[in-house]
Structure formats: C-alpha cells, structure tokens
Amino acid sequence: MILCCDIGGTAIKLAEASSPNDLVLKGRIPTPTRDFDAFAQVLRDAIAAASEPPEAIAFSMAGVVEPGTGVATVANIPCLTGRRLQHDLTAALGLPVILANDADCFALAEAELGAGRGHEVVFGLILGTGVGGGVVVRGQLVNGSGFAGEIGHGPVAARILDDLGVTLPAIPCGCGLTGCLDVVCSARGMERLHLHLHGRALDSREIVAGWQTGDADAGQTIAVWLEVLSGPLAMVENVLGAGIIAVGGGLSAAPDLIAALDLSVRERILRRFDRPLIVPAQCTVEPGLIGAAILGLSLASC
C-alpha cells in the first residue's frame, strides 16, 4: 500500500492505494503553506494514521520540478519553492517519495482508467482556473516534472483575429511572458475576453450558458475563445499525434463547448478523424489522487 496526496494551496487530499482501482479516500487536511516543518509534520501524522505502514508516498501537486537540480517551484505553497523537494521530503518522512505535477497525474489517470484507454498517445488538457496539460505515451509520462504538455505558457496566443475583426490586448501572464493561453483561454481568460469585447463582467459559466441559448455577445466571446485556442492546440496535436485529448477542469463540464473545440481543432490538423478527438475527461473524481496512485505504485514496485 502507498499513501497518495493531492497537494493544493488550501487542502491536502489523502488516499491509500493498493491498486489504481482500489483507492480508499482518507479525507483532507489544511495545507501549511509557509512553514516546511509544519507541512512535513501533517504528512507524518497522516502516515502514522494510515491503516498499515505505507511503502511510499506519492504526491500530485500544482508545480514543477527542475529535472537537472530537483528544485521545485510551487507558486501556491511558498514553503516548497526553492527546495530539492523529493530529497527534503524523503529525509523528513523517512519513506520513498514520488512527485508529479497535477496535470501530469490527470493525464495519467485518463490514459489508464479514463478516456485515453486503448490509445498509445494521450494528451490530458486542463481548461479550468488555468490552462495546462500532460502527455502519456504507451502508459508512461513524458517528463513527469511538470514541463511537458504545458500548453498554457508560451507566447503563442493570437491577438489579431482578422476573420472575426477583433484585436486583443497584450495581457502579461504570471509566468513572466505575454501571449500565454493561460490568460485568455482559461475560465478566467474567457471572462477577460468577454469584458474586453463587451464591457461586461460575467462568470465563465454565464458566458457559456449565454452562448448555448443564442446570446450574441456570448457567441462572439466563444468564437474568439475557440479561434485563439484551436490553432495552438492543433499544432500540439500535429506534434504529438495523440489518439485522444481528454479535457478536465471547470470548462470541461460544458460538453457543447468541448464538442465545438473538437470540431474547430479537427479542421486545423493534418490527420483526419472520423470520431471526436477532444472529449471530456472520464476520471472526474480525484484524478490527481488516481494519477499519483498509478505513478506511485508503478515506481514502488520497481
């Protein structure tokens, strides 16, 4: 058995796993974000409270680990940033530690137990508070440190959309770049687009609902959103040759929106599919824990 942790800025979700299909949820505890000793202590307490001594502890977290140095950057948990996190946690907990980015864990869950089953190459796309992703090839993560698949960051978002008669402002991203999909195609990004285009602040769910009922302003916002996202996503598909792109995050809860994105991307790629390529995720309950379990169990058994 291994202990799995999905580390968020507010709470740590816990589960015990003997197999990816045998996940026992063990609740959640508040995340100490600014004191590493306190962070390690709540994990030691969780280990002590486990039903049996775990062989290892696997983490899904919103952050990246530099492959060369092992140094982590976890924006929402400052006490983890700048540390050789796997080394430090192993020393603090006395157990083997497996770390993975949360989008990578999501992609792994979809590849093994969700929409990606039966496909050699799976791209897991997050469209929620941010835009992110992970890549799984033949059951293995491509660079589980959190860098591969991060479509949300990079200066690729189009600003001049001639066909729609729209010019978008240059919006700086928290990563330090300008032109990232994260700031215009996430749920918050969709809201920024709507405010820029129409001068009205609406929640992304209201925008999608308006589009579905034929509201003209919402329709323009979604048309711009699709145009900005589809080109870069089509290029990712041409590079990866994914058999499926599984979408998680809050925007995936709108099947009509994901279907529209699928059609828009399939018009722009080299390969021709006679079925949907971009589909809603199937592992909608705790995919971070499921992915951590898959990764942790595979490495713990080596």
C-alpha closest to that of 108 among 1, 235, 20 = 20
What is the distance between the terminal CA atoms of the chain, rounded to a whole angstrom?
14
Q: What confidence category does residue 300 fall into, taking pLDDT thresholds of 50, 70 and 90?
A: low
Cα distances from 293 to residues 4, 8, 190, 256, in angstroms, run: 6, 17, 33, 31
Reported as a single tens digit per residue, the pLDDT across 82-130 is 999 999 999 999 999 999 898 999 999 999 999 999 999 999 999 998 8
Full-model pTM: 0.91
Distance CA 124, CA 240 (A): 12
Domain co-membership, 191 together with 73:
no
Query: Which structural domain range is residue 29 located in?
Result: 2-104+285-300
Return the amino acid letter for 227: E
Establish if 109 belongs to a structural domain. no
Beta bridge partners, 278, equal 245
Domain count of the fold of the chain: 2
297 three-class SS: helix
Segment 51-78 shows an average pLDDT of 90
Q: CA 277, 130, 101 angle in degrees (round to 5)? A: 80
Question: Which conformational region is residue 27 in: left (phi greater than 0), alpha (psi within -120 to 50 degrees), or beta?
Answer: left
Do residue 129 and residue 208 come from a single domain?
A: yes
pLDDT digits (tens, 9 = 90+) for 67-94: 889 899 887 899 999 999 999 999 999 9
The CATH number of whichever domain residue 98 belongs to comes to 3.30.420.40
Residues 54 and 139 both lie in one domain: no
Residues 82 and 152 placed together within one structural domain of the fold: no
Looking at residue 146, what is its pLDDT? 63
Residue 247 lies in a domain: yes
Q: How confident is the model at residue 8 (pLDDT cuts 50, 70, 90)?
A: confident
Pair 146, 258 in one domain? yes
| pLDDT the model gives residue 256 | 98
User: SS3 letters for 178-236?
Assistant: ECCCHHHHCHHHHHHHHHHHHCCCCCHHHHHHHHHCCCHHHHHHHHHHHHHHHHHHHHH
Average pLDDT over residues 234-256: 96
pLDDT digits (tens, 9 = 90+) for 151-199: 999 999 999 999 999 999 999 988 889 999 999 999 999 999 999 999 9
Residues 208 and 93 in one domain: no
Any idea which of 3-7, 72-76, 135-139 has the lowest mean pLDDT? 72-76
